[in-house]
Amino acid sequence: MKKLLGIILVLACAGSAAAWDLELTAAEIRARVIGNTIIGIEDGKFYAEYLSPSGVIYGRDGNDDYRGYWRIVDNRLCLGYEADNPRTATASGKFTWTCANVALSGKKLIWNDRNDVSFSTLVPGRAEQSAVANRGAGF
């Protein structure tokens, strides 16, 4: 049993090392992710976000639309949302950003924020409205 557990652990580690071989640079993030829609599930809720080339995020979860912003810092994709930043914070120039390294394997985006790994799916173009309406079916 210990031998089997050891083999599984080695394979799991090898798989995650391979995923990070696909980590995107700033230029690759701009070319492959920006201008497309990211869909996934966070806190048990389905979401879809279009990352526009202008730096604005147009998001939708359930029946709610929301907005945010993206930027790239040191090969990390950073996201910030209006709902997380009261007007006083944005007026003073203090904005809360969450940044992560991003890897791409096929249509799967792998996010690594200081070893907190999560996954989403990349959909070509602007599709946040239809992705939520279809709950990700067909993507």
pTM attached to this predicted model = 0.77
* Planar angle of CA 25, 28, 33, nearest 5 degrees: 120
User: So where are the chain's domains?
Assistant: 24-133
Sites in the chain below the pLDDT cut of 70: 1-21, 87-93, 132-133, 135-139
CATH code 3.40.50.720 for 24-133: no
What is the model's pLDDT at position 36? 97
* Rounded Cα gap, residues 53 and 70, in angstroms: 9
